[in-house]
Structure 1
């Protein structure tokens, strides 16, 4: 079902060219200007907050998994997720702040969860700046005012959570800062527009002095972590010594963004209360550890299943059965048999319409949430014919847009 604002947009040809007339900041233009969807997206604010509230409840449920399913043992919990002991040792047992992005398909009037991304190492927060540029476009103002459109900025919500009066560094590792240079430049640019000058660097550039971490000689109050526990194992000593510098988010976030947590919730329903079962059933497709499902069952149901690497990101390790031959599917299952993978029921999303393009479009709605609730949206979309992995970094055919709420 198309909401009334989307339908009004599609019916009004005078506003169809807004995406080609945006005045984007330079780094945002460099990162996304060549890969924009030919339309904005719209959602009523009640639904934005309602789905975010469900996601916050879902995160709270994830935080109970060690106690609910492993007698409070984080060692057993990490082992069940396939996390190596050296990485698990960094994660500890602290409850992390609620900060994440839920990747969701719209199915009619409902929304179905594909995966949870927990922690601060999230792609797409600067798409709030894209929403701002759409909202402020002079030629789009009559439509904005007629429908009372607004936007939420994930970068702004991140700075609110971290604290704007602190010295902040966004840190990567292993050359990833250079690989994603355009994206980080866009985030830095967005922070500067909001009055916060953040630093960028990599983990191996850190030094420690008197309990504080330093980057290029500047003492840091907080590190916004984009590096993983795996990348940090060799730097555990300097991080431990620099304990007076906050790590946002802590490594414990990693325990809850692993796709295996979804298999735990989907498979062990007997551990859940009635309200928790209702929440999981409302949001989550059937999901299992691949190793726990009979091979013949997975092989025979290729058209309706997708296989995903548990701990990967940016579209890595995702294999839609319906786009593979029987032979390719069987070979994949043999190849990943003993690796940490999950298998999930195929979700068939409602196609989206892009003016001037007759093809149906496949859209992932990335709901950002913090402890304060709904924190904005990452919209990624592409024609169905271009595949099934809608990932800006992982699929060069993926495009982006901004969300306006009404």
Structure 2
């Protein structure tokens, strides 16, 4: 909620950003993202991001859908959202909303990938929504497959002054590397890519084994389909203030702006981290890449992100370019055993937001609210000292106590 504190010396601050959140239904009950919770309305998402999560910037990837676009305009008309001179919309004078769309594009040789297009203002969003409506089956629904290739999509994004992000790049379903091609240029124009989203089952060490990604910013976003999942992955940006143009500068490390931190799940918690067998349920533990089930021999497996990335990587070890920020592996509060809704609410009340719990609360202060045992688990989660069960095949990993 605009919590970053600008430096008195250089005018920069550090701000928390989640660029990939979905809408399940409009306030009038019309579906938007079919897989998202019906409770994920535009206002509910904005309130959750501001009040409970403590985000400074939130990106709604369904804003170009006709029903959501109508609601954005209504909130602007009533003063709940206010246009920012640098692009984006300010919610209740506290949190910056970035509006965009997630679009599915068929791969050149099969498969499909998701891409995010972000627009600086309502005028550009309306233009993009109208352009998109001529190329999808149902413009009221999110993540529709477009009747165009990725290059044409990038050209329209550039014409409108937008940002183009490769979503969950390595996942076996709808990921550019995971589902379509081994090299970015085989599907998109790399010069028109503003960032690469790691996805829940990958981190910087994994992605930086692909040398062609050296020049791209990495973002770690939640891809939230329910309010509780907002900010399960997020970023820290060094910018002067939250705005669309400041985010653009940070993604390209210009004029002192930068992405200074990626916060995300330990990749082993991601539901597609390792290859998994849908026949017998085995999640691979052998060295990657595993392409057939080691137990029943089934070749129709769900390829894991680590396994696929091992196939396409051209480096044995990660090679981080200068300025690559750290990837901070953490376990969201909702993953911690014994920390149910009642106790999470008590923590949020005591420390203001999930950011406050995860980044600022001391062990002693946590223990006063939830007791010694749970306080210890929160600190161990913060420090990456929890034992984890690996996820795969669409099932999340978990914490082993």
Q: Scaled by the length of structure 2, what TM-score is found?
A: 0.28
Instruction: Identify the structure with the greater strand proportion.
Output: 1
Higher RCO (CA 8 Å, separation ≥ 6 residues): 1
Q: Scaled by the length of structure 1, what TM-score is found?
A: 0.28
